[in-house]
Amino acid sequence: MPQVPVAQLKDHIGKELGRSAWFTIDQQRVDQFADCTGDHQFIHVDPEKAAQTPFGGTIAHGFLSLSLMPMLMGDLLVVPEGTRMGVNYGLDSLRFIQPVRVGSRVRLALTLLDAYEKNPGQWLLKARAEMEIEGSEKPAYIAETLALCIL
């Protein structure tokens, strides 16, 4: 994560921080996520049965798509200089707009919405994260995510 002087954090508010590299969602990852979570709903793990649905094939779990956020935003989110660690502080909002079909490529667009010192040496960053699906006008999801940076 790029580090910037605390005084420059405010300069990034309201600005898009960039887009991640494209990442392919494959069936193996979806199957592994199903095994980890116990969510083996056929729309995720049975290509033949899922082909008979309006999705036309298997789709990634919404929470699988969401769980990719830290990896995809790693090189985008600016954090205060001297940050020793960052922790997930939660989400203010999340909407799944459309499913991610297996085989699709996705990337994350990130915009910093707010940054403030919550406690001495602790900065709370709020960002809008939009997971784009290659070739689609609609995103997979739009989330307002919170990260706590500990200096």
Find the CATH number of the domain harbouring 114. Answer: 3.10.129.10
Q: What is the mean pLDDT of the chain?
A: 97
Position 77 scores a pLDDT of 96
Q: Which helix (H) or strand (E) holds 123?
A: strand 122-133
User: What tens digit of pLDDT does each residue of 92-140 get?
Assistant: 999 999 999 999 999 999 999 999 999 999 999 999 999 999 999 999 9
134 in Cβ contact with 106 (< 8 Å): yes
Domains in the chain, number: 1
Residue 55 corresponds to which amino acid? F
Q: Provide mean pLDDT across the span 54-64.
A: 98
50 found inside a domain: no
Instruction: Give the pTM.
Output: 0.94
User: What tens digit of pLDDT does each residue of 67-98 get?
Assistant: 999 999 999 999 999 999 999 999 999 999 99
88 found inside a domain: yes
Position 140 scores a pLDDT of 98
Write the burial class of residue 137 (CB in 10 Å: 0-12 exposed, 13-18 middle, 19+ buried): exposed
44 found inside a domain: no
32 found inside a domain: no
113 found inside a domain: yes
Q: Quick one: tokens of 145?
A: 């995510």
Q: Percentage of the chain surpassing pLDDT 70?
A: 100
Query: Virtual CA dihedral for 123, 86, 13, 9, nearest 10 degrees?
Result: 60
43 found inside a domain: no
Q: Which helix (H) or strand (E) holds 16?
A: strand 16-19
pLDDT bin (cut points 50, 70, 90) of residue 1 is: confident
